[in-house]
Structure 1
């Protein structure tokens, strides 16, 4: 493993550890991942996808499923209209709209292609409303998050050369001046 790959692996492992420590994720939450492997390696988004980087990211975020029993959704690139790779049972349970395509590195992105090849029964869905997410390389996962998205700040905010941002969601606050809210969000 090259020094660059070791750093990428260390970066993503720290981020996954931060997510696990934060206690913001609950069983069956949908966790969306948008990832530019090109950006991670210091190249322009969409220009130099890396299957090796994608595999490293996939292995790391799979720990979230193992520890928190989450539903993962991997966002494709713009060439597949930012569709998402999910397990078929997620699509069925959440009544998502399936679309027909198979992500490949040049149309879908290396991360989505990797996820599609590693999941048990992957399908592509048009959209999702996730409970939390990880965006590596500014891939614009916001369209797939529930309202209201709340940014998180971790000490580790890069993976390789790409910026990473994090968000959880919370229910909308409704009411007004007379409304009362719980003192601690659950």
Structure 2
């Protein structure tokens, strides 16, 4: 897999995210990523920090353009804990845990993010508070998303060889048949 192709895929998906109104400054954006799947190998078999670097750089661009806080999901060996900036942990009142992700326990993406973030910490979970996210290679990020998750259908369907799934969340509908949802973020999902 050529790194230039992965870079182009990331540029495409970042461009598609920023042209929507799905992301707001200060929101949590969770990323699950199997660099093995991106390279065309089964999940957990061929982690690659060079691929992680390309993906991380694309996600930094998304962060710069949208103002979201990035949360990188670790692999199952760390129980899907997340790498975030210390400032984000403080903002969302999340408790730090004592672990440093490495490629074989945490995954190449989380390991790379931990090395490159300004002041990274690992938190056990984000208590289903993520506002949106991307799952690159079917790593199962749903547990981190707020209720109600809305799947997104972007033109970009893969990053490298890995399938891409994306979602945003919306507030729960309350109020029954007399409720009015006009002029809310729900317009595209209520009709």
Measured against the shorter chain, the TM-score band is over 0.9
RMSD across aligned positions (CA): 1.1
The equivalent residue for 2:60 is 62
Instruction: Tell me whether 1:122 sits opposite 2:100 in the alignment.
Output: no
The equivalent residue for 2:107 is 109
Query: Which segments of 5 or more consecutive residues in structure 1 lack a partner in the other structure?
Result: none
Deviation at 1:92, TM superposition (A): 0.9
Instruction: Tell me whether 1:97 sits opposite 2:98 in the alignment.
Output: no
Deviation at 1:183, TM superposition (A): 4.2
Deviation at 1:184, TM superposition (A): 4.1
Cα separation, 2, equivalents of 1:97 and 1:156 = 35
Aligned pairs for 1:8-157 within 5 A:
8-128=6-126, 129-157=129-157
How many residue pairs were aligned? 184
Where in structure 1 do 4 or more consecutive aligned residues deviate above 6 Å? Answer: none
Cα separation, 2, equivalents of 1:158 and 1:39 = 10
Cα separation, 1, equivalents of 2:157 and 2:167 = 12
Query: Which segments of 5 or more consecutive residues in structure 2 lack a partner in the other structure?
Result: 187-191
Deviations 1:138-174 (A, max 9, x none): 0000000000000111111101110001100000001
| SS at 2:177 equivalent | coil
